[in-house]
Amino acid sequence: MAAETSVGEGSHAEIGQVWPRDGHIRILGTVVTGGTPDETPVDEPWTLRLTSRERRKAPAPTVADRIVNRLKRSVTRSAERTPSRLFFPVVTDGPHFEAVVPVRDLAVRDALPREHWDLHLVSARGGKKLVLRVGRHHDDLPGKKQIVKFPEQTEAGVDVLPYYTDGDHLSVRCARRDSAKGASA
Partner 1 sequence: MKLTYLIYNAFGVGGTVRTVFNQANTMVERGHDVEIATMLRYHEEPPFPLDDRVRVTALVDNRSGSYVDWDRYEGEEDTSWHDRFPAGVSENADKRRRINAMIRFLRGLEGRIVVGTRPTINLVIAEFADEALVRVVQEHAGLSTHKGEWREAIDAAYQGMDAIVCLTEEDRAAYAEAFPGVRVERIPNALHSLDVPRTDFSRHQVVSAGRLDGNKGFDMLIEAFGQVVEAHPDWTLRIHGGGPDENKLRKLILAKHLYNHVFLTGSTNRLDDELAKGSVFAMSSKSEGFGMVLLEAMNCGLPVVSFNCPVGPRELVTDGQDGLLVPERDVDALAAGIIRLIEDEELRRDLSQAALKKAAEYGPDPVTDTWEHLYEALTAAK
- Contact residues for partner 1, defined by CB under 8 A: 17-19, 21, 140-141, 143, 146-151
Q: Report helix, strand or coil for 72.
A: helix
CA distance linking residue 156 with residue 174, whole number of Å: 11
Beta bridge partners of 14: 30, 135
What minimum distance in Å lies between the beta carbon of 163 and partner 1?
11
What minimum distance in Å lies between the beta carbon of 168 and partner 1?
13
Closest to partner 1 by CB, 71 or 141 = 141
Asked if residues 34 and 91 have their Cβ atoms less than 8 Å apart, the reply is: no
Closest to partner 1 by CB, 2 or 147 = 147
Closest to partner 1 by CB, 28 or 124 = 28
Closest to partner 1 by CB, 17 or 154 = 17
CA distance linking residue 48 with residue 4, whole number of Å: 15
Asked if residues 155 and 23 have their Cβ atoms less than 8 Å apart, the reply is: yes
What minimum distance in Å lies between the beta carbon of 116 and partner 1?
20
